[in-house]
Structure 1
């Protein structure tokens, strides 16, 4: 290995170590205020924002909810979230392909999540970089739509291994697709035997109750 490779590895380790330090501060802050912070990750177009909008509609009269939106450009998703009546702040990462703990710390300071609330962090659409960056969240929730390949857990094992929950979305489209649900679930369990799997449709509402109940139980 060359000296250049050594320096690159050390730099990457330094970046991750600095991020982990801030992530620990975020986690302590969330714990002190009883804030359930979740990091939603996926490929682009999986339906994260639609899922969030439906989740907000289901819970907004019971639980204080806030959203941190991450995208490389535009404020479109944050505007969709605000249209539900939920407070949201947008982070544009530019060339960066993920959110980091410092971004979440700064956004939280501006948003000031309420005590006993749920904070959804919608990460940049990417199944690679966000896997390595702890934001201080309770856990990662990976969103996979049935319009993608059922072998995604095998292609992106680090993300599925780092996630506590896999939400399989757009199940209302299954009759029109060649997507093997059981094989997808098998692949996810192969990568992460402990991953919880929730199947739902944000459009029809099927399966949403299970997701909402998961949120309520982990908020306690």
Structure 2
């Protein structure tokens, strides 16, 4: 199997630089450049782009405020908003020629799921302290501790595999239609790709938000059941 088939670009010693890594860094640099541009434009009249991005941020803030306690919104918002926007951009970048969505790579979705896992415990420890955060895994009985641990692991794996599987199958379906029907017929399919990419980003971000809210409100029984609605 050649490097192109594997999605490899080059080796740096034992490190492998893949298309996923390059595309991910390009997305991050794009966000950093956009943030710098918006910071510089604050000194002048607001632009249409800035107004649009502020509207998106307000919408995300409203979604966060509906799930987490009011006092934790300003702490949770930066992480959740960044995660939401990154996953959405990563899902949509596959529509560009010669590029593939980083989220079709299991290593990328696993890294995102790991960030959600770590952030969940970080917010929980910050809100309740280490002892109280760990103590709720032994409630109502210490016998349930192994099941709580398994639940934490399995939901993290499910978070990674769900996004990876959906984006991989979506890109493969689009590629097959392009090969069979050409570049003019599958325009509705490309629109479906956009809709599905938005939905998958929303689900990933909402699940992350629910997990964080569950850590912030470990005594709230309904906070862990909202995942079933997704």
Pair in the same fold by TM > 0.5 = no
Q: TM-score, normalised by structure 1?
A: 0.27
Of Structure 1 and Structure 2, the greater strand share is in: 1
Q: TM-score, normalised by structure 2?
A: 0.26
Of Structure 1 and Structure 2, the greater helix share is in: 2
Give 1 or 2 for the bigger CA radius of gyration. Answer: 2
